[in-house]
């Protein structure tokens, strides 16, 4: 090769490498800045939850000195937090269990009994597109007229009904591909009825899809606010979400207390996210791309 | 499957329970919402049919005009910021190997939280006495920019909008990132060989190839902004007046504070109509894009 061109090539390659390095540094700089901005509110909450008002007032950005733990017992007491924490767990777990059984049965029927999805599938899926505000008032009136307002059964049935569409959508898609027809045929030929077949074959084979739906529905109920606000006024059966909101009215000047409350509220969701990260991301983005 | 089709009773066992619950508590309420929207009704005494009066009153009301303006401005800003940042961060993540999982996990973190929790975090952050926003402004010598973020009627709307936009950027980062990762690598390799820099690759190849995903994000943001409730209601109760209210909050206030259930249903129908219209437009657009490619 001609030495002059070789030299030129090296020089331009050098400038490319240089440009690449600058781009990489820039890229990381932007990513780190945006990540810091994203977690800043969390850091602030954690910082405040372990300080009292005086500390926050005088040295807003200082670390806790001394470390104050009193906010947590105080918030548990003033907002009846332990009770509402249990309520939220109860609502979320019961909704998940019932929705999964009901939706899996429908999904089994839609994916294996019918030739095509047909209108029944469309009918069930339509619920995903309906904004809650379009059904809020009749639901309030219906639960009231049934005597279910301010009861655990009332909020549960509403949570179950409003989560069915998404669960049916995901599970039908999953079963169509993930549960082989041959296996069902074999069990039926062996003399099993569809109900046994559902519990022995279909449910176990759908575990992955069920896990996605379970995380999505659990988080959805745990984070739900509007139905809880209008259907639950009795403090004893409130959700955690709602009782933390009540703090906003009564204790809004006590920053440490509010932070501790928020921290209690978000910890379970964060734990679920840490342990089931892929499931959570899959569930929430499947919910997003359903349109 | 043919072998299953002989079990005629299967529909009644597998589908009927869900069908009844779903029809009674999701589909039927839409119809009754529609009917109630034509009445004057306080949910206690019998409803009185008033025709389209509620809709007329709604479109004439000043509050509704403010709320709609809020909704459109909020939607515009959310589209620009969420799609803009979504594209930027997902493209940077797409090129990143070291730290990829950590960055991705942090970006998505706010999405999994209760909107109520994020709203309360921002209440603390925007606190005018000891919140970090004012404190930071003070410490960098910009005390002139300090505000009563949660009560000043000229800015409270933007204060309320900020957690709404902040919380869901991560969702669009992940959705767009998934779109980018589904582009066949050969296409990108060939553009790299042609000497296209990353900016050119981004504008000329990646964005055109994920148009449909971008449109999904646009629909989600639009539908979300018409039913937005928690952030505005928790931070300011929609106030002062309806200065920081969105349609969802406005509906709640008219229905459950003023006991005007007929008007509330009419607002619910407006929300339903706009959401469905947006979805239809979105589907038509995506279908056209599919035909073209």
For residue B130, the enclosing domain spans 52-292
In sequence order, what are the beta bridge partners of B48?
A: B40
What is the CATH classification number for the domain harbouring A105?
1.10.3720.10
ipTM score assigned to the predicted complex: 0.87
Residue B80 touches chain A, beta carbons under 8 Å = no
Please indicate, yes or no, whether residues B101 and B195 belong to a single structural domain of this protein: yes
Q: Select the residue of A112, A127, A222 nearest B114 (Cβ to Cβ).
A: A222
Are residues B279 and B154 part of one domain?
yes
Q: Give the count of domains, chain A.
A: 2
Alpha-carbon gap, residue A13 to A15, rounded angstroms? 5
Residue A65 domain-assigned (yes or no): no
B242 located within any domain = yes
Same domain, yes or no, for B19 and B81?
no
A21 and A82 co-located in one domain: no
Question: According to DSSP H, which parts of B109-228 are helical?
Answer: 115-125, 132-139, 156-181, 185-193, 198-201, 207-209, 211-227
Question: How many structural domains compose chain B?
Answer: 2
At B167-217, the pLDDT tens digits run: 999 999 999 998 888 888 888 777 777 777 777 888 888 888 888 888 888
B211 with B161, same domain: the answer is: yes
CA-based end-to-end distance of chain B: 35
DSSP label at residue B144: G
Say whether both B261 and B286 belong to one domain.
yes
Same-domain status, A233 and A94: yes
Q: Distance of CA A185 to CAs A111, A113, A201, A234, B64, Å?
A: 14, 12, 11, 51, 59
Q: Does A33 share its domain with A82? A: no
Query: Which chain A residue has its CA at the smallest distance from B177's CA?
Result: A285
Q: Indicate if B143 and B203 belong to the same structural domain.
A: yes
SS3 content of chain B, % helix, strand, coil (to 5): 75, 0, 25
Could you give the CA distance from residue B211 to residue B179 in angstroms, rounded to a whole number? 9
**Is residue B144 located within the same domain as residue B17?**
no
Domain CATH for B103: 1.10.3720.10
Helix residue ranges per DSSP H, A50-117 = 53-58, 71-78, 81-108
Return d(Cα A262, Cα A272) in angstroms, integer: 16
Asked whether residue A120 is domain-assigned, the answer is yes
Residues A151 and A264 in one domain: yes
Both B279 and B243 in one domain: the answer is yes
Render B218-269 in DSSP notation, one character per residue: HHHHHHHHHH--HHHHHHHTT-STTTT--HHHHHHIIIIIT--HHHHHHHHH
- Out of B13, B171, B279, closest to residue A129 by CB: B279
Q: Which domain holds residue A159?
A: 76-288
Do B67 and B138 lie in one domain? The reply is yes
Chain A residues touching residue B237 (CB < 8 angstroms): none
Of A252, A275, A229, A239, the C-alpha closest to A85 is: A239
Residue that finishes a domain, picked among A11, A34, A49: A49
Are the beta carbons of A138 and B28 separated by less than 8 Å? yes
On whether both A103 and A14 belong to a single domain, the answer is no
Cα B229 to chain centroid distance, Å, stands at 10
Q: Could you say which of B103, B175, B265 has the minimum Cβ distance to residue A31?
A: B103
Residues B80 and B135 in one domain: yes
Residue B278: pLDDT over 50: yes
Assess whether B122 and B17 both reside in one domain. Answer: no
Question: Averaged over B263-272, what is the pLDDT?
Answer: 93
Residues A83 and A41 in one domain: no
> Does one domain contain both B128 and B10?
no
Chosen from A45, A108, A129, A137 to mutate, greatest number of chain B CBs within 10 A: A137
**Residue A57 domain-assigned?**
no
Is some CB atom of chain A closer than 8 A to the CB atom of B122? Answer: yes
Burial class (CB in 10 A: 0-12, 13-18, 19+), A260: buried
pLDDT score of A1: 43
Nearest by CB to B175, from A42, A123, A288: name it. A288
- CA pair distance A144, A123, nearest whole angstrom: 26
- Alpha helix stretches (DSSP H) within A117-254: 118-125, 133-145, 152-178, 181-189, 194-197, 203-205, 207-223, 226-231, 240-250
For chain B, the maximum distance between any two Cα atoms, rounded to a whole number of angstroms, is 79
Cα–Cα distance, B89 to A148 (Å, whole number)? 46
Q: Is residue B42 in a domain?
A: no
Each residue's pLDDT expressed in tens, for chain A with a length of 291 residues: 444 444 444 445 555 567 778 888 989 999 999 999 999 999 988 888 888 877 777 777 777 778 888 788 888 887 778 888 999 999 999 999 999 999 999 999 998 888 777 899 999 988 888 889 899 999 999 899 899 989 999 999 999 999 999 899 889 988 988 888 888 888 888 888 888 889 988 999 999 889 989 988 998 999 999 999 999 988 889 998 888 888 777 776 778 888 888 998 899 889 988 988 888 888 777 766 643
Q: Is residue A136 part of a domain?
A: yes
Q: Is residue B157 within 8 angstroms of chain A, CB to CB?
A: no
Q: Is B196 on the interface with A (CB under 8 A)?
A: no
Q: Is A39 found in the same domain as A90?
A: no
* Whether A188 and A243 share a structural domain: yes
Contact B50, B38 (CB under 8 A): yes
A202 touches chain B (CB under 8 A): no
- Compute the distance between CA of residue A286 and CA of residue B18 in angstroms, rounded to an integer: 21
């Amino acid at each position: 090769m001609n030495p002059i061109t070789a030299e030129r090539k090296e020089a331009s390659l050098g400038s490319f490498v240089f440009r690449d390095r600058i781009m990489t540094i820039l890229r990381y700089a932007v990513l780190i800045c945006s990540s810091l901005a994203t977690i800043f509110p969390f850091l602030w909450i954690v910082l405040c939850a372990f300080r009292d008002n005086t500390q926050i007032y005088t040295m807003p950005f200082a670390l806790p000195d001394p470390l104050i733990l009193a906010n947590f017992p105080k918030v548990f007491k003033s907002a009846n937090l332990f009770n509402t924490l249990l309520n939220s767990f109860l609502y979320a777990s019961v909704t998940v269990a019932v929705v999964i059984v009901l939706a899996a049965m429908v999904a089994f029927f839609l994916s294996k009994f019918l030739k095509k999805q047909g209108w029944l599938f469309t009918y069930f899926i339509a619920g995903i597109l309906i904004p809650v505000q379009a059904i809020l008032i009749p639901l309030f009136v219906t639960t009231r007229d049934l005597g279910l307002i301010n009861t655990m059964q009332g909020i549960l049935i509403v949570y179950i009904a409003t989560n069915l569409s998404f669960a049916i959508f995901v599970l039908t898609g999953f079963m169509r591909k993930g549960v082989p027809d041959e296996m069902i045929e074999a069990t039926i030929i062996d003399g099993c009825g569809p109900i046994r077949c559902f519990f022995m074959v279909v449910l176990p084979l759908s575990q992955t899809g069920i896990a996605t739906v379970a995380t999505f529905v659990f988080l959805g109920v745990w984070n739900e606010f509007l139905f809880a606000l209008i259907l639950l006024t009795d403090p004893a059966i409130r959700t955690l979400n709602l009782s933390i909101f009540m703090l906003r009215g009564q204790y809004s000047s006590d920053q440490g207390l509010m932070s501790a409350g928020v921290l209690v509220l978000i910890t379970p969701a964060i734990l679920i996210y840490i342990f089931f990260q892929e499931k959570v991301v899959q569930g929430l983005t499947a919910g997003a791309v359903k349109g | 499957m043919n072998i299953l089709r002989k079990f005629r009773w299967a529909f009644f066992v597998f589908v009927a329970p869900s069908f009844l619950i779903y029809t009674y508590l999701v589909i039927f309420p839409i119809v009754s919402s529609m009917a109630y929207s034509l009445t004057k009704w306080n949910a206690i005494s019998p409803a009185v049919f008033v025709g389209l009066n509620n809709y007329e009153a709604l479109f004439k009301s000043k509050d509704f005009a403010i709320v709609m303006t809020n909704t459109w401005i909020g939607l515009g800003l959310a589209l620009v910021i969420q799609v803009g940042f979504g594209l930027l961060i997902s493209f940077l993540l797409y090129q990143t190997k070291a730290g990829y999982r950590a960055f991705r996990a942090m970006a998505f973190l706010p999405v999994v939280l209760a909107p109520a929790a994020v709203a309360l975090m921002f209440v603390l952050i925007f606190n005018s006495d000891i919140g970090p926003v004012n404190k930071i402004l003070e410490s960098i010598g910009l005390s002139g920019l300090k505000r009563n973020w949660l009560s000043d009627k000229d800015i409270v709307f933007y204060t309320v909008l900020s957690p709404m936009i902040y919380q869901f950027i991560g969702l669009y980062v992940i959705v767009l990132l998934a779109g980018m990762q589904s582009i066949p690598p050969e296409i990108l390799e060939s553009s790299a060989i042609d000497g296209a820099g990353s900016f050119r690759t981004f504008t000329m190849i990646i964005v055109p190839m994920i148009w449909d995903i971008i449109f999904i994000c646009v629909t989600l943001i639009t539908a979300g902004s018409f039913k937005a409730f928690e952030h505005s209601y928790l931070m300011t109760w929609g106030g002062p007046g309806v200065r920081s209210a969105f349609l969802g909050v406005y509906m709640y206030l008219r229905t459950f504070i003023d006991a005007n259930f007929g008007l509330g249903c009419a607002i619910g129908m407006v929300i339903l109509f706009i959401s469905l219209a947006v979805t239809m437009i979105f589907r038509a657009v995506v279908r056209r894009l599919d035909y073209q490619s």
